[in-house]
Structure 1
């Protein structure tokens, strides 16, 4: 009897059942049960410990969703942000980058196919200012060429008058890469010029390697003896607040209106000249 039981047990293999693959497509899930259009995944760009309750309180207060927000911890430093209205979600996504205690909060829309432990969030949009641009080199095409290798270009701010201190472009940056400090160009006279970059709402970053999320003290990408040399990055990369912007907007709008009037007068005069 014991031998028979032993033989039966030897034929029972749990691996056989575990190896059976369940095709979820065949189940035809109800879209209402897998709704992810109002779900964001996010993490804080840091390796240091921080107060989880303070983070949840702060982010809820800053985002101020009209229709509410539920935050769930999926794993250490990985969160699910469940919204209940698309306007609240879009306000958060359009308002990026967000920071908590000067640490960048990375966000992405959930596609539903990733497992929580395989979620990768390494991109965030930033407004980048291009400074010291010559007046003849401020077109949108030139601006796009200057930042083209930094990441996906999301938006180029309109340059109405062409006499500003800088041009602005919104770029999706890879936070695992060093911040770009400048770009060199050659003008028509053959002179080499340097175009400096500055980033709006720039969070904590390393002065030794230029990567966001840690300080030079915690940097493992630069040797200790090299850290004693002059650091390659500085606070010069942090853009200053845009003071007086409302007045500039009014002046630009006035210019648009006057230009429209002049253009209209030119169009009216054309038929008159055609008869002469």
Structure 2
């Protein structure tokens, strides 16, 4: 059997033919079906998905500095949610917001527009996995 360093050496065909090289490599491993009996692959981890339910990105449209705790307090008061609302700052004027019931989610996402110190607060649903800087936050429902 060829060493792994031989299969992935710089003298290989580069990125072209890499699939063939990997296929050859896995063929040389000589794995059998019964060796995978203990392997369980789940499509979705329900407990992980439960932890990211009703999560949004919030951005305050300003270049000015402001006190984050004042933002949290004002938004909690404006939204008047029945359950706890959690905030995590992840960038300048960018926050992850999580609520814990569907009624609160509908309220913050659809009953705006929301303002903080007369500046718009834009909200978009967030999956919790995507890089927050890459999520487009472009509009506010009015």
Q: TM-score, normalised by structure 2?
A: 0.64
CA shift for structure 1 position 122: 1.1
Kindly indicate whether residue 101 of structure 2 is the aligned counterpart of residue 93 of structure 1: no
SS in 2 for 1:87: helix
* Other-structure match for 1:33: 48
Determine which of 71, 91, 94 is the counterpart of 1:78. Answer: 94
CA shift for structure 1 position 112: 4.0
User: What 5-or-longer segments of structure 2 have no aligned partner?
Assistant: 1-8, 10-40
Based on CA coordinates, which of the two structures has the bigger radius of gyration?
A: 1
C-alpha distance in 1 between matches for 2:57 and 2:125: 6
Determine which of 118, 121, 133 is the counterpart of 2:134. Answer: 118
SS in 1 for 2:53: coil
C-alpha distance in 2 between matches for 1:28 and 1:74: 29
Note if contact 2:75-2:116 (Cα within 8 Å) is conserved in structure 1: yes
* Bigger relative contact order (CA 8 A; separation at least 6): 2
- How many corresponding residue pairs? 102
C-alpha distance in 2 between matches for 1:61 and 1:42: 16
C-alpha distance in 2 between matches for 1:40 and 1:61: 18
Kindly indicate whether residue 62 of structure 2 is the aligned counterpart of residue 49 of structure 1: no
Note if contact 2:57-2:132 (Cα within 8 Å) is conserved in structure 1: no
Note if contact 2:110-2:141 (Cα within 8 Å) is conserved in structure 1: no
CA shift for structure 1 position 37: 3.1
Given the superposition, is the C-alpha separation of residues 125 and 75 from structure 1 closer, same or farther in structure 2, using an over 3 Å criterion?
Answer: same
Moved over 2 A (4+): 26-29, 34-37
SS in 2 for 1:124: coil
* Other-structure match for 1:14: none
C-alpha distance in 1 between matches for 2:126 and 2:114: 18
Determine which of 83, 88, 97 is the counterpart of 1:67. Answer: 83
CA shift for structure 1 position 120: 2.2
Q: TM-score, normalised by structure 1?
A: 0.34
C-alpha distance in 2 between matches for 1:125 and 1:69: 21
User: What 5-or-longer segments of structure 1 have no aligned partner?
Assistant: 1-10, 12-25, 127-276
Note if contact 2:55-2:128 (Cα within 8 Å) is conserved in structure 1: no
Determine which of 124, 131, 142 is the counterpart of 1:108. Answer: 124
CA shift for structure 1 position 113: 4.6
Q: Report matched runs for 1:164-203 at 5 Å.
A: none
C-alpha distance in 2 between matches for 1:27 and 1:118: 28
